[in-house]
């Protein structure tokens, strides 16, 4: 159906795959891309109707809530194995580089910046580097594919999608101040740069927003500092600041005590936003909370019964 339209432009694209260059011709067609349809006759990528979806996305995980489904998932879990292989190759490359360039390193192992000699790379180093490049290509393709699949899954849950704004560039930077933990040991200055590079949460939000725009709507971004979803309790109507390690919220309703996973509860609050995108609709939270708790408990049971490795931020 697509190639029945007029060809507007041709683009030659070069890609290195398995150490060899491959050339492709991309056709840019006139008009609108045809809609994909399932075997049952349903249109793929269609958004739901008359329902709100709250999304709480982190550096490695995503939690989303709607009246139909509550989920806590790891972003692009299929790239973890490749990431491990890349680490091993980088260690191998570092060992090779140190052997062929002994004068470029100090006695303590750091690079000697005073030495201006040209770097020497062995054939073995170049071979391993090409293998790593191929892994990066696979990792990028798998990550994009995983984000698209997840975005299509979320699209069916509603027609209004809300997410908190995040300063991801700030999360990538190393901490400037030297601090100590409760035990008196120095905290690491590294932050979330590696997680953001591997899981690419910004890419996921961009993909989701593009799909929503295609359906005539958009991804609504709420103000993190005014809403403070991770601190708010709709039952007590109070804000309680929590440490990053506290992954559960504890409640007492009519003498019944229970706990709710922090990210899932944040996505629930985000789902129940007012139209001004600055405040949470408390009345709506009360009316939707019973249904949310049922779906929340189902999701927690699924996570606990799953044998897959959990990320520490999930609190499992």
Using pLDDT thresholds of 50, 70 and 90, give the confidence band for residue 170: low
Pair (152, 288) in one structural domain: yes
Residue 292 lies in a domain: yes
**Range of lowest pLDDT (55-59, 128-132, 182-186):** 182-186
Domain around 7: 1-33
pLDDT value of residue 189: 63
- Per-residue HEC secondary structure of 65-110 comes to ECCCCEEEEECCHHHHHHHHHHHHHHHHHHHHHHHHCHHHECCCCC
Pair (233, 139) in one structural domain: yes
Pair (26, 96) in one structural domain: no
Residue 254 lies in a domain: yes
**Range of lowest pLDDT (84-88, 191-195, 256-260):** 191-195
Residue 48 pLDDT exceeds 70: yes
Pair (17, 116) in one structural domain: no
The residues facing 13 across adjacent strands are 24
Mean pLDDT of 240-251: 84
Pair (125, 11) in one structural domain: no
Number of domains the chain contains: 2
Cβ 272 vs Cβ 284: under 8 Å: yes
Residue 163 pLDDT exceeds 80: yes
Using pLDDT thresholds of 50, 70 and 90, give the confidence band for residue 209: very high
Q: Give the span between the Cα atoms of 157 and 53, in whole angstroms.
A: 7
The structure's pTM equals: 0.83
Pair (84, 2) in one structural domain: no
């Amino acid at each position: 159906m697509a190639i029945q339209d007029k060809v507007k432009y041709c683009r030659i694209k070069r890609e290195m795959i398995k150490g060899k260059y491959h050339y492709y011709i991309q056709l840019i067609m006139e008009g609108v891309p045809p809609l994909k349809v399932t075997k049952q006759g349903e249109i793929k990528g269609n958004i739901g109707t008359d329902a709100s979806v709250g999304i709480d996305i982190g550096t490695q995980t995503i939690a989303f809530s709607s009246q139909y489904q509550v989920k806590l998932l790891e972003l692009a879990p299929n790239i973890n194995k490749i990431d491990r292989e890349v680490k091993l190759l980088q260690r191998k490359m570092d060992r090779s580089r140190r052997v062929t360039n002994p004068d470029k390193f100090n006695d303590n192992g750091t690079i000697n910046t005073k030495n201006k000699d040209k770097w020497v790379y062995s054939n073995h180093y170049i071979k391993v580097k090409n293998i790593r490049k191929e892994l990066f290509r696979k990792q990028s393709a798998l990550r994009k594919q995983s984000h698209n699949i997840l975005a299509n899954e979320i699209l069916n849950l509603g027609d209004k999608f809300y997410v908190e704004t995040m300063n991801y560039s700030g999360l990538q930077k190393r901490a400037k101040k030297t601090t100590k933990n409760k035990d008196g040991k120095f905290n690491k200055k590294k932050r979330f740069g590696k997680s953001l590079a591997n899981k690419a949460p910004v890419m996921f939000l961009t993909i989701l927003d593009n799909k929503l725009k295609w359906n005539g709507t958009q991804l609504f971004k709420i103000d993190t500092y005014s809403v403070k979803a991770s601190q708010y309790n709709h039952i007590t109507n109070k804000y309680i600041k929590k440490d990053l390690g506290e992954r559960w919220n504890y409640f007492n309703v009519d003498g019944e005590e229970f706990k709710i996973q922090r990210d899932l509860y944040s996505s629930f609050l985000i789902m129940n936003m007012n139209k001004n995108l600055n405040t949470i609709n408390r009345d709506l939270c009360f009316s939707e909370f019973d249904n949310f708790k049922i779906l929340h408990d189902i999701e927690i049971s699924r996570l606990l019964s799953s044998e897959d490795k959990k990320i520490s931020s999930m609190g499992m």
